[in-house]
Structure 1
Amino acid sequence: MNFSNGPAALNETSLYSCRFNEDFKYLLLPISYSLVFFFGLALNSMALYIMAFRTKRWTPSTIYMFNLTVADTLYVFTLPFLIFYYAGANDWPFSEPVCKIVRFLFYANLYGSILFLSAISLHRFIGICYPVRSLSWLSTRRAKVVSVAVWACVITCQAPVLFFSRTRRHRKVRVCFDTTSPELFDEFLVYSSVISVVMFALPFMVAMVCYGLMVRKLLEPSLASGDDKRGQQVAAHRKQKSVRTIVIVLMSFMLCFLPFHLTRTLYYTFRYLSKRHPEQVTCKLLEASSIAYKVTRPMASANSLIDPILFFTAGQGFRKTLRMEPKKDKRCISECADVTLMTQL
């Protein structure tokens, strides 16, 4: 198969050669990244301000959400570099270290978000399905330990990105590779595949199982006494809100992360096959997978918008901490623990 890149777009498969028309990304990516930068910076800054200066009592959920917002904010600050890059038709105007940092922060935010959302899922699962035990299992100290472990895992697992990411002169432009240089692609493919399984597929399955069990638990009939109608109404309302929150989180999980990983896997697979078995992959198939992958990249970036929106719309427990300290009622340890943990994101 004789591949050759056209002048309209430079693709990282240029070593193997196919003429790709990717002019769309020079409009799609700068516009989408600009929107994510503008709204993401405003929303995440507001969320950080509320958590840092207006939240009186930090819960484990607050700690997870704070770390999630920090990851989103760090990524948002890298977007101006990508906006200039793609608006300039793949001409990287900055140094190679900046290219490495930008690519590293993208994946650090991506997998940091996935792991912190998984931690939130496990936290909610324990709080809803085991409300009494959760009083001793869930603590701010343990949440801090988990957060440190998540950051250590993310930094360690994404450190190879700093090696694989690099720049190179191609014709009249300087490219900042989204993956790596063509001669290192096989090694990068092995690394990327392992990361996708360990840091996306497994956490995604954990979150799905946790939320499935939580929905079943929340849909069970209330055990409250029959004469306590107001208590039943409040519990039912809070359960409905928790179910809606679960649906929103799962939808954001699947809309932002799942399409990106599926299209990226297809693109990497076809790209590998086009090198090893060129007769099995046509240029049109390779181009279609490349376009699909690039279209889903802004969807993955949009997670930086969804996380603070979830904080503002579903974090009822957070909003209460802005007004008053929660009153403790010794008569309802189990039920109060259940309700409190259900309403915290």
Structure 2
Amino acid sequence: MVLDNNFTYTSFNCTIDGFKQVIYPVTYLFVFFLGAVGNGFAIYVFFQPSQRKTSVNIYMQNLAVSDLMFVSTLPFRATYFLLGSRWIFGDIICRIVTYTLYVNMYCSIYFLTVLSVVRFMAIVYPFKHWTITNTKYAKITCTAIWVFVLAASSPLFSKEIAGYSNPAKCLDLHPSSIHKLFMLNSIVIVVGFILPFCTIIVCYVFAIKALLKSRNPQCKKAVCHKKALSSIIITLILFLICFLPYHILRTIHLMLSSCSQDNLPVHKALVVTLCLAAMNSCLDPVLYYFAAENFKVRIRSLYCR
């Protein structure tokens, strides 16, 4: 019995290789195309000399870089499943592909959370200058997030986790690692998902409360509030669609470590939720368009040029 890094069984008795061979390549190639175009263009806009250097844009720049890094690995994943779960790219690339998935996922979660906090401050305390909204602090925060996530995900470079004894296999985990993975998942789900998710919900609730108290705001202030609220709402939707289902199903799957016919629906559902998590990389450009500082204006100027 073998467990791959998206936590789906591939043993003879409960194989879902046929299911994965259909859904993964289609999803990964779709996300690759939209994510590469959307995030590549976003990075081009963000790094234009005339683009405003604000804390919000700095966080979004880093989010776009993380997404672009992830989507660049998707053709390898798609090829693996198209070939019937046969790896042809070597051990090092296998480890990088495994590592990049989780680096992107948790970098995205943290960047989106910090963005929500910054936008929350803009609504609730519009006239106060907070350190978190400072561009210098934004760069330090982004660096800290990258270092923390890269270091925390480093166990995925381990041969026991990222690789397998068969060189033709990738994205596989040893069955003896299930207990270790369950313990690791318990920590990751709290630090990497529950705390950020609760932070975003708090930001959303108090931002709505502040907007309801604000009657007849000035035009400029209303625009600022609209952009800040859009940012928080889009972030909350991304969490509900992309990250919440995957973390719930991953935990359930690790709890149901036995391989039986009754668990097949859970295995298939986990495959679907991992596809939804990957789709975050092509949905983030929607956030840039509606919530980034001066992003729409810059796109229009480029189009007119």
Q: Give the TM-score of the pair, scaled to structure 2.
A: 0.88
**Native 8 Å contact 2:230 2:290 kept in 1:** no
Separation in 2, partners of 1:297, 1:314:
26
Q: Which of 37, 48, 66 is 2:32 aligned to?
A: 37
1:176 aligns with 2:164: no
- Counterpart amino acid of residue 307 in structure 1: D
Q: Which runs of 5+ in 1 are unaligned?
A: 6-10, 225-230, 275-281, 325-345
Q: Which of 52, 60, 68 is 1:65 aligned to?
A: 60
Matched with 1:46 is 41
Separation in 2, partners of 1:244, 1:138:
18
- Counterpart amino acid of residue 154 in structure 1: V
Matched with 1:318 is 295
How far residue 205 of structure 1 moved from its aligned partner, in angstroms, is 0.8
Across the aligned residues of Structure 1 and Structure 2, the Cα RMSD in angstroms comes to 2.5
**Counterparts of residues 295-306 of structure 1 (less than 5 Å):** 295-306=272-283
How far residue 241 of structure 1 moved from its aligned partner, in angstroms, is 5.1
1:130 aligns with 2:125: yes
Matched with 2:185 is 192
Distance 1:136 1:304, change over 3 A: closer
Radius of gyration: which is bigger?
A: 1
Matched with 1:166 is 163
**Native 8 Å contact 1:165 1:181 kept in 2:** no
Separation in 2, partners of 1:323, 1:84:
37
Matched with 2:240 is 254
Matched with 1:201 is 194
Deviations 1:223-250 (A, max 9, x none): 65xxxxxx45x64465445434432221
Distance 1:83 1:19, change over 3 A: same
- Counterpart amino acid of residue 195 in structure 2: L
How far residue 94 of structure 1 moved from its aligned partner, in angstroms, is 1.5
Matched with 2:5 is none
How far residue 31 of structure 1 moved from its aligned partner, in angstroms, is 0.5
Distance 1:241 1:124, change over 3 A: closer
Q: Which of 240, 261, 265 is 1:284 aligned to?
A: 261
**Counterparts of residues 75-114 of structure 1 (less than 5 Å):** 75-114=70-109
Deviations 1:32-58 (A, max 9, x none): 100000111011110000011254321
Separation in 2, partners of 1:120, 1:244:
11
Q: Give the TM-score of the pair, scaled to structure 1.
A: 0.79
**Native 8 Å contact 1:56 1:321 kept in 2:** yes
Q: Which runs of 4+ in 1 moved over 4 A?
A: 234-238, 320-324
Identify the structure with bigger relative contact order (alpha carbons < 8 Å, sequence gap 6+): 2
- Counterpart amino acid of residue 35 in structure 1: F
**Native 8 Å contact 2:54 2:293 kept in 1:** no
**Native 8 Å contact 2:20 2:271 kept in 1:** yes
1:294 aligns with 2:288: no
Separation in 1, partners of 2:278, 2:193:
15
Q: Which of 145, 148, 155 is 1:153 aligned to?
A: 148
Distance 1:135 1:184, change over 3 A: closer
SS at match of 1:91: coil
How far residue 20 of structure 1 moved from its aligned partner, in angstroms, is 2.8
Separation in 2, partners of 1:238, 1:60:
15
Q: Which runs of 5+ in 2 are unaligned?
A: 3-7
- Counterpart amino acid of residue 205 in structure 1: C
Percent same amino acid at aligned positions? Answer: 32
Distance 1:309 1:137, change over 3 A: closer
SS at match of 1:92: coil
How far residue 175 of structure 1 moved from its aligned partner, in angstroms, is 1.9
How far residue 23 of structure 1 moved from its aligned partner, in angstroms, is 1.0
Distance 1:300 1:31, change over 3 A: same
**Counterparts of residues 211-250 of structure 1 (less than 5 Å):** 211-222=204-215, 231=218, 235-236=221-222, 239-240=225-226, 242-250=228-236
**Native 8 Å contact 1:68 1:112 kept in 2:** yes
